[in-house]
Chain A
Amino acid sequence: MASKTESAVSYSGARLADYTEDISGERGPVDLPFTLLSLLLLTIGVVMVLSASFARAYYDPTNSTGGNATYYFVRQALFALCGVGVMFACSRFPMSFYRQISGIVMLVSLALLALVLVPGIGEKVNGARRWINLKFTTFQPSEITKIAVIMWFAVLICKNKDGLRDFKHGLLPFIILLGIICGLLVLEPHMSAIIIILAIGLVMLFLGGLPLYWFIGGGLAAGTLLGVGYAIFPYVRDRFAAWLNPFADASDTGWQIVQSLYAIGSGGMLGLGLGNSRQKYLYLPEEHNDFIFSVYCEELGFIGAMLLLALFALLIIRGFWLSMHVRDRYSALVGAGITTHLAMQVILNVAVCTNSIPCTGISLPLFSYGGTALLLQMAELGIILSLSRDIPEKR
Chain B
Amino acid sequence: MLFKKRRTEKSASPNRMMLRRTLFLMIVCGIVAFIALGARLFQLQILDHETYETAAVDQQLRETTVTAKRGTIYDRNMNILAMSASVSNIYISPAEIQANEEDPAAIAQGLSEILGVDYAEILEKTTHTNSWYMTVARKVEDDVADQVRAFKEAGFTDKDGNHKIYQGVKIEEASKRYYPYSSLACHVIGFVGADDHGLAGLEYYYDDLLSGTDGRIVRATNANGTDMLFTDFEDYYDAVDGQSIVTTIDETVQRYLETRLAQAAEDYMLRDGAAGIVMDVDTAAILGMASVGSFDLNDYMAIDPETMEQIENNSAGLTIEEHDALVEEARGEMWRNKALTETYEPGSVFKIITLAAGLECGATTMESSYFCGGSIDVLGRTDPLNCSNLAGHGDQTLTEAAMHSCNVAFVTIGLRIGAERFYDYIRAFGLFERTGVDLTGEAGSIWWDEDTFFDKSNLSQLAAAAFGQTFTITPLQLITAVSAVANGGYLMKPYLVKEVLNADGTVASQTEPTVVRQVISEETSRKCCEILEQVVGNRNGTGVNAYVAGYRVCGKTGTSEDVTWEVAHGTKKYITSFLGFAPADDPKVAVLILLKDPDPACGYGVSGGTMAAPTVGNVLADVLPYLGVEPEYDEGEEAIVDQRVPKLVGKTPSEAQATAEAAGLKVKSVQGDGAAVTAQLPAANAKVAAGSEVVLYCGVEPDMELVEVPSLKGMYYSDARVVAGWSGLYVRGEGTMMDSDNILTVSQSIEEGTMVEPGTVITVRLNDATKVGIW
Quote the shortest CB–CB distance from B327 to chain A (angstroms): 43
Q: Considering the complex, give the chain A residue whose CB is closest to the CB of B36.
A: A356
A268, B30: Cβ atoms closer than 8 Å: no
Complex Cα–Cα for A90 and B44 (A): 39
User: In residues 303-349 of chain B, which contact A (Cβ within 8 Å)?
Assistant: none
Quote the shortest CB–CB distance from A157 to chain B (angstroms): 9
B222, A59: Cβ atoms closer than 8 Å: yes
Q: Pick the residue among B34, B224, B231 that contacts A282 (CB under 8 A).
A: B224
Q: Considering the complex, give the chain A residue whose CB is closest to the CB of B223.
A: A282
Interface membership of chain B positions 6-25, coded 1 if the CB is closer than 8 angstroms to chain A and 0 otherwise: 10011111110111011101
Q: Considering the complex, give the chain B residue whose CB is closest to the CB of A354.
A: B40
A-B contacts, 29 listed (Cβ < 8 Å): A18-B2, A26-B3, A96-B10, A99-B9, A158-B12, A203-B25, A207-B18, A209-B17, A261-B52, A265-B53, A266-B52, A269-B49, A281-B222, A282-B224, A302-B46, A305-B45, A310-B34, A312-B34, A313-B34, A317-B30, A324-B14, A328-B10, A328-B14, A339-B25, A340-B29, A343-B29, A347-B37, A351-B37, A356-B36
Decide yes or no: A55 and B222 within 8 Å by CB, A317-B30, A336-B25 being known contacts.
yes
Not counting A251-B130, A265-B45, a sample of 14 additional A-B residue pairs whose C-beta atoms are within 8 angstroms of each other reads: A26-B3, A99-B11, A158-B11, A265-B44, A269-B49, A281-B228, A283-B60, A297-B41, A320-B22, A328-B14, A329-B18, A339-B29, A343-B29, A347-B29
Complex Cα–Cα for A266 and B604 (A): 82
User: In residues 13-50 of chain A, which contact B (Cβ within 8 Å)?
Assistant: 18, 22, 26
B57, A207: Cβ atoms closer than 8 Å: no
Decide yes or no: A309 and B34 within 8 Å by CB, A266-B52, A283-B60, A354-B41 being known contacts.
yes
* Residue numbers in A under 8 Å from B18 (CB-CB): 207-209, 329, 332-333
**A107 lies within 8 A of chain B by Cβ:** no
B231, A278: Cβ atoms closer than 8 Å: yes
A344, B222: Cβ atoms closer than 8 Å: no
Complex Cα–Cα for A301 and B57 (A): 16
* Residue numbers in A under 8 Å from B221 (CB-CB): 281
B29, A316: Cβ atoms closer than 8 Å: yes
Complex Cα–Cα for A8 and B8 (A): 11
Complex Cα–Cα for A237 and B19 (A): 40
User: In residues 150-185 of chain A, which contact B (Cβ within 8 Å)?
Assistant: 158
Q: Considering the complex, give the chain B residue whose CB is closest to the CB of A264.
A: B44
**A330 lies within 8 A of chain B by Cβ:** yes
Query: Considering residues B38, B44, B51, which has the most beta carbons from chain A within 10 angstroms of its beta carbon?
Result: B44
**B48 lies within 8 A of chain A by Cβ:** yes
Q: Considering the complex, give the chain A residue whose CB is closest to the CB of B51.
A: A265
B22, A336: Cβ atoms closer than 8 Å: yes
Interface size class of B (residues with CB under 8 A): 35 or more
> Between A and B, how many residue pairs show CB distances below 8 Å?
181
* Residue numbers in A under 8 Å from B21 (CB-CB): 206-207, 209
**B508 lies within 8 A of chain A by Cβ:** no
Quote the shortest CB–CB distance from A170 to chain B (angstroms): 15
Quote the shortest CB–CB distance from A268 to chain B (angstroms): 5
Q: Pick the residue among A158, A306, A321, A328 that contacts B26 (CB under 8 A).
A: A321
**B390 lies within 8 A of chain A by Cβ:** no
Decide yes or no: A22 and B3 within 8 Å by CB, A283-B223, A329-B18 being known contacts.
yes
Complex Cα–Cα for A312 and B12 (A): 30
Q: Considering the complex, give the chain A residue whose CB is closest to the CB of B222.
A: A281
**B704 lies within 8 A of chain A by Cβ:** no
**A230 lies within 8 A of chain B by Cβ:** no
Quote the shortest CB–CB distance from A195 to chain B (angstroms): 15
* Residue numbers in B under 8 Å from A264 (CB-CB): 41, 44-45, 52
User: In residues 19-74 of chain B, which contact A (Cβ within 8 Å)?
Assistant: 19, 21-23, 25-26, 29-31, 33-34, 36-38, 40-42, 44-46, 48-49, 51-53, 55-57, 59-60
Q: Considering the complex, give the chain B residue whose CB is closest to the CB of A247.
A: B55
**A58 lies within 8 A of chain B by Cβ:** yes
Complex Cα–Cα for A60 and B22 (A): 45
* Residue numbers in B under 8 Å from A206 (CB-CB): 21, 25
Q: Pick the residue among B11, B36, B41, B130 that contacts A302 (CB under 8 A).
A: B41
Query: Considering residues A18, A281, A317, which has the most beta carbons from chain B within 10 angstroms of its beta carbon?
Result: A281
**A279 lies within 8 A of chain B by Cβ:** yes
Q: Considering the complex, give the chain A residue whose CB is closest to the CB of B29.
A: A343
Q: Considering the complex, give the chain B residue whose CB is closest to the CB of A271.
A: B45
Query: Considering residues B21, B42, B45, which has the most beta carbons from chain A within 10 angstroms of its beta carbon?
Result: B45
* Residue numbers in B under 8 Å from A55 (CB-CB): 222, 228-229
B45, A269: Cβ atoms closer than 8 Å: yes
**A327 lies within 8 A of chain B by Cβ:** yes
A317, B222: Cβ atoms closer than 8 Å: no
B229, A281: Cβ atoms closer than 8 Å: yes
Quote the shortest CB–CB distance from B55 to chain A (angstroms): 6
Quote the shortest CB–CB distance from B233 to chain A (angstroms): 8
Complex Cα–Cα for A265 and B229 (A): 22
B60, A313: Cβ atoms closer than 8 Å: no
**A113 lies within 8 A of chain B by Cβ:** no
Interface membership of chain B positions 209-227, coded 1 if the CB is closer than 8 angstroms to chain A and 0 otherwise: 0000000000011111000
* Residue numbers in B under 8 Å from A265 (CB-CB): 44-45, 48-49, 51-53, 55-56
* Residue numbers in B under 8 Å from A365 (CB-CB): none
A332, B22: Cβ atoms closer than 8 Å: yes
User: In residues 203-221 of chain A, which contact B (Cβ within 8 Å)?
Assistant: 203, 206-209
A309, B38: Cβ atoms closer than 8 Å: yes
B222, A207: Cβ atoms closer than 8 Å: no
**A231 lies within 8 A of chain B by Cβ:** no
* Residue numbers in B under 8 Å from A317 (CB-CB): 26, 30-31
A-B pairs with the 4 shortest C-beta distances? A265-B52, A281-B222, A320-B26, A343-B29
Quote the shortest CB–CB distance from A45 to chain B (angstroms): 18
Decide yes or no: A350 and B37 within 8 Å by CB, A96-B6, A278-B60, A313-B31 being known contacts.
yes
A283, B228: Cβ atoms closer than 8 Å: no
User: In residues 378-392 of chain B, which contact A (Cβ within 8 Å)?
Assistant: none
User: In residues 61-82 of chain A, which contact B (Cβ within 8 Å)?
Assistant: 61
B30, A343: Cβ atoms closer than 8 Å: yes
Quote the shortest CB–CB distance from A203 to chain B (angstroms): 7
B222, A268: Cβ atoms closer than 8 Å: no
Quote the shortest CB–CB distance from B623 to chain A (angstroms): 67
Complex Cα–Cα for A4 and B1 (A): 11
B56, A278: Cβ atoms closer than 8 Å: yes
* Residue numbers in B under 8 Å from A203 (CB-CB): 25
User: In residues 291-335 of chain A, which contact B (Cβ within 8 Å)?
Assistant: 297, 301-302, 305-306, 309-310, 312-313, 316-317, 320-321, 323-324, 326-330, 332-333
A268, B34: Cβ atoms closer than 8 Å: no
Complex Cα–Cα for A54 and B229 (A): 10
A58, B29: Cβ atoms closer than 8 Å: no
A324, B59: Cβ atoms closer than 8 Å: no
Quote the shortest CB–CB distance from A220 to chain B (angstroms): 19
**A94 lies within 8 A of chain B by Cβ:** yes
* Residue numbers in A under 8 Å from B57 (CB-CB): 266
A22, B2: Cβ atoms closer than 8 Å: yes
B222, A266: Cβ atoms closer than 8 Å: no
Q: Considering the complex, give the chain A residue whose CB is closest to the CB of B10.
A: A328
* Residue numbers in B under 8 Å from A99 (CB-CB): 9, 11
B45, A297: Cβ atoms closer than 8 Å: yes
Complex Cα–Cα for A18 and B25 (A): 36
Complex Cα–Cα for A35 and B233 (A): 41
